[in-house]
Amino acid sequence: MGREIRSSLSFLQLNLFIFLLVLSPSSSLTPKPRLPPPPLGHGPAASALFIFGDSFFDVGNNNYIDTTTLDQANFWPYGETFFHYPTGRFSDGRLVPDFIAEKARLPFIPPFLQPGASHHAGVNFASAGAGALVETFRGSVIDLKSQMRGFGKVESQLVQRLGKSKARSKLSKAVYMFGIGSNDYMSPFLTNSTQLFASYSKRAYVGMVVGNLTTVVKDIYEKGGRRFGFINLPPLGCLPGLRLIGAWNNGSCFEEPSWLADLHNTALLTRLDVLKDQLRGFRYSLYDFNAFLRHRIDHPSKYGFAEARGACCGTGMFQGVFSCGGRRTVKEYQLCEDPSRHLFWDSYHLTERAYQQLAEELWSGKGNKSNLKDLFQGF
């Protein structure tokens, strides 16, 4: 009898197989390589990734808002290396959140504003040009507070769908990545609307930026979030766009923005340690993006780069004029032949090759216990 059941089962399976064969001629039959299951830590593995930040992390939200091409990258040659079409990412290919999602065996995490996108594996709220302060490039970006409102909407939908306790459990296992602050310190050097920056001491200004970031982190914690991943700020004055402004042109980095980034990074480290003591179960990793970039600027060839001062795409000194793609104020631009040899893609952003290296480091942390892999795997 057992055999009979088995054979009728396999008959059924055969029918199903033929049925599928007819329905989907190619894709479902292509054998997918099976990855071994990820090793598990003490806690459950994360099944979702939520992303907050600026153009280092924006995968296309600004395609959907009323802004200018200064805060958009949905035109050629953005995307030329990987997607082969412009997606809105400020690079020639993938960004850090794309690589991290891949490592966590999640699909690409879609931009919050993309119509009809599935939110089951997480949502990306980041917006190019955004700062932690609402004043930063106000009117042309989605500031951090508004990104948080987006997360609130996603949370309500999740509660409606799963019920309160299941939604909270999902949110507590998710990882929350932040990359924000650069624009708060760069905008005073790039625009004339520097009222806020001018009317506070530098330390007080840094306090406001870190304070507003902390507020959002606490709000997410209140909604159940426990696992947080941060990157600190790069040496801002060494980005080609600022090197161009500040060097007076002997070619060195522009000191003041880099100094502000250092102040911010120290304050952030201190604040996160305080949060860890204040909030029960709060776990975080903080990756030193600043050191990452300095190492590569100082020793490019050690990391496979031929050029670590000038951008691949842009014009003027260091290709630092923000004209990549010819759709901004300045239309003229040059494009390098091989972006993978460059650290910087355009005036303010890195190449896919550099982001891939950053994601590797962020994930494995090289002996540093506070890495994203541990957060995802629940160690």
Catalytic residue list contains 342: no
Helix (H/G/I), strand (E/B), else coil: 258:
helix
| Smallest separation (angstroms) from ligand NAG to the CB of 159 | 27
| Smallest separation (angstroms) from ligand NAG to the CB of 201 | 14
Judged by beta carbon, residue 255 or residue 338, the one nearer ligand NAG is 255
Q: Minimal CA–CA distance to 313: which of 289, 290, 341?
A: 341
| Smallest separation (angstroms) from ligand NAG to the CB of 212 | 4
* Residues whose CB falls within 8 Å of the CB of residue 184, separated by 6 or more in sequence, listed in order: 131, 132, 133, 136, 205, 209
Question: Among 55, 91, 187, 285, which one carries the catalytic annotation?
Answer: 55
- And the tokens for 245? 């402004």
Judged by beta carbon, residue 91 or residue 357, the one nearer ligand NAG is 357
Judged by beta carbon, residue 92 or residue 361, the one nearer ligand NAG is 361
Q: State the Cα–Cα distance between residues 174 and 154, nearest whole angstrom.
A: 13
Report the residue closest to ligand NAG, judged by CB.
Answer: 211
DSSP code at position 378: T
Question: Among 98, 143, 184, 346, which one carries the catalytic annotation?
Answer: 346
H/E stretch holding 229: strand 227-231
Question: Among 71, 98, 342, 349, which one carries the catalytic annotation?
Answer: 349
Catalytic residue list contains 346: yes
3-class SS letters over 153-217: HHHHHHHHHHCHHHHHHHHHHCEEEEECCHHHHHHHHHCCCCHHHHHCCHHHHHHHHHHHHHHHH
Q: Are 362 and 372 in contact (CB under 8 A)?
A: yes
Judged by beta carbon, residue 124 or residue 232, the one nearer ligand NAG is 232
| Smallest separation (angstroms) from ligand NAG to the CB of 379 | 15
| Smallest separation (angstroms) from ligand NAG to the CB of 269 | 7
Judged by beta carbon, residue 124 or residue 265, the one nearer ligand NAG is 265
Residues that bind ligand NAG (CB under 6 A): 133-135, 191-192, 208, 211-212, 215, 250, 252, 286, 288, 368, 370
* Catalytically active residues, by annotation: 55, 346, 349
